[in-house]
């Protein structure tokens, strides 16, 4: 079986460097904060072209702490994508604000700025695009809308490490850019981890304080914060992996190029990459009305695939008691039934990519046709 993603192989490739980094932390006797965290924060900020990076416990916390640092809460509305992973919805509702879902462009799967503009009301406080599947949303029009209406732009970049927008890396466009280092991400830890990058020193300080018990001086608690910190072991591992991120993303891009050139297009819609985007290829997502049969046939042919995501957030039981549960979001609902993610990753070798293509070709001319 060709696995969807082989995390063991990723660790094995860097095993010596990871061992050395972890041993350094073990020997340091320092297990929360400290130099390892500071060094990774500096390196990742520099990588993103941002002035600040604040490590936090995970991607969901990065989103929630960013909203809290922007003082968004009760009575406020936040615009989110209807087809995103549920994390940014959960962050919005966790701070007491209301999600206002907007449908994506059905080809890029990212927020459509024209529809975002129509959704802005006097209660809107922020726009929260997700750079879905590792491809940047169209940031310039979203930034212009945010400026025009006095809104915050808080980006969910959990899938977009190394992705570029108009040649510039994602991570320094919006007020706060939120990252996850969940193991399967392009930059993944060996456990949970997250960060926020920003050019705003006040926002950076506020997020750091909120994630550290609301305290910027030990035992002095200025606000009611929480505990959400990136730990030094993960920071050390991430520092190692950051050095390989561009090379590993280039391997993903090579697979994506090959899929784009060789997968059959009669019955499959392949990813559409706008001129402004240089994706990190976190996922390679094809769309077909016969998705479930395609997935089954690929499994029979030895190719593991996943669905990102099978149930749109407004149809989740988690939101069954909210007004948004009955929202009409036909694009998100259709995409949930039609998207399929093919294997892609830095450790997927050329022969495996060729076998994936072969398996899709066989299916396409067979039962799915």
Ligand X SMILES: *Cc1c(COP(=O)(O)O)cnc(C)c1O
Task: State in angstroms the smallest separation of the CB of 128 from ligand X.
Answer: 10
Nearer to ligand X, 63 or 348 (CB): 63
Stretch of 155-163, 262-270, 285-293, 324-332 lying at the interface with ligand X (CB under 6 A): 155-163
Nearer to ligand X, 54 or 158 (CB): 158
Per DSSP, what are the bridge partners of residue 116? Answer: none
81 interacts with ligand X by CB under 6 A: no
Of the chain, the end-to-end C-alpha distance in Å amounts to: 24
Nearest residue relative to ligand X (C-beta): 59
Task: State in angstroms the smallest separation of the CB of 182 from ligand X.
Answer: 4
Whole-number Å distance between alpha carbons of 68 and 64:
6
59 interacts with ligand X by CB under 6 A: yes
Chain centroid to Cα 113, Å, comes to: 19
Picking from 211, 214, 216, the residue whose alpha carbon sits closest to that of residue 224 is 214
194 interacts with ligand X by CB under 6 A: yes
Nearer to ligand X, 165 or 359 (CB): 165
Picking from 184, 160, 189, the residue whose alpha carbon sits closest to that of residue 172 is 160
177 interacts with ligand X by CB under 6 A: no
93 interacts with ligand X by CB under 6 A: no
55 interacts with ligand X by CB under 6 A: no
Task: State in angstroms the smallest separation of the CB of 267 from ligand X.
Answer: 27
Strand blocks (E) in 103-142: 124-128
Secondary structure of residue 83 in the 3-state scheme: coil
Nearer to ligand X, 238 or 359 (CB): 238
Considering CB under 6 A, how many residues would be counted as binding ligand X? 13
Question: b/e map of 14-41 (b: 16 or more CB within 10 Å)?
Answer: beebbeebbeebeeeeeeeeeebbeebb
Residue with tokens 């784009």: 260
Nearer to ligand X, 36 or 192 (CB): 192
Counting Cβ atoms within 10 Å, is residue 163 exposed (0-12), middle (13-18) or buried (19+)?
buried
Picking from 170, 128, 360, 162, the residue whose alpha carbon sits closest to that of residue 242 is 162
259 interacts with ligand X by CB under 6 A: no
Whole-number Å distance between alpha carbons of 48 and 277:
15
Task: State in angstroms the smallest separation of the CB of 317 from ligand X.
Answer: 19
180 interacts with ligand X by CB under 6 A: yes
Residue numbers at the binding site for ligand X (CB under 6 A): 58-60, 85, 87, 130, 156, 158-159, 180, 182, 192, 194
């Amino acid at each position: 079986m060709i696995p969807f993603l082989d995390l063991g192989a990723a660790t094995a490739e860097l095993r010596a460097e990871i061992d050395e980094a972890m041993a350094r932390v073990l020997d340091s006797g320092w297990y929360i904060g400290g130099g390892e965290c500071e060094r990774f924060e500096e390196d990742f900020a520099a990588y993103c072209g941002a002035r600040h990076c604040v490590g936090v416990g995970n991607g969901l916390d990065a989103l929630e702490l960013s909203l809290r640092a922007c003082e968004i809460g009760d009575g406020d509305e936040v615009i989110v994508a209807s087809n995103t992973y549920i994390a940014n919805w959960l962050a919005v509702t966790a701070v007491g604000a209301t999600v206002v879902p907007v449908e994506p462009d059905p080809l890029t799967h990212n927020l459509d700025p024209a529809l975002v503009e129509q959704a802005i009301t006097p209660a809107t406080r922020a726009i929260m695009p997700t750079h879905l599947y590792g491809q940047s949303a169209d940031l310039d029009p979203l930034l212009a809308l945010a400026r025009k209406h006095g809104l915050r732009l808080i980006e969910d970049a959990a899938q977009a490490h190394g992705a570029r927008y108009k040649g510039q890396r994602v991570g320094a466009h919006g007020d706060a850019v939120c990252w996850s280092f969940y193991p399967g991400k392009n930059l993944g830890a060996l456990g949970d981890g997250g960060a926020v990058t920003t050019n705003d020193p006040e926002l950076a300080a506020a997020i750091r304080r909120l994630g550290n018990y609301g305290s910027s001086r030990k035992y002095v608690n200025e606000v009611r914060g929480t505990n959400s910190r990136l730990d030094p072991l993960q920071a050390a591992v991430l520092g190692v992996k950051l050095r390989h991120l561009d090379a590993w993303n280039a391997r993903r891009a090579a697979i994506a190029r090959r899929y784009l050139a060789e997968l059959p297009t009669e019955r499959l819609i392949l990813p559409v990459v706008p001129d402004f985007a240089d994706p990190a290829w976190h996922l390679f997502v094809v769309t077909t009305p016969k998705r479930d049969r395609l997935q089954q046939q690929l499994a029979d042919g030895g190719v593991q695939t996943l669905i990102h995501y099978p149930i749109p957030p407004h149809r989740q039981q988690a939101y069954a008691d909210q007004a948004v549960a009955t929202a009409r979001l036909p694009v998100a609902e259709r995409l949930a039934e039609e998207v399929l993610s093919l294997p892609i990753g830095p450790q997927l070798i050329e022969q495996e990519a060729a076998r994936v293509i072969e398996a899709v070709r066989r299916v396409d001319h067979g039962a799915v046709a």
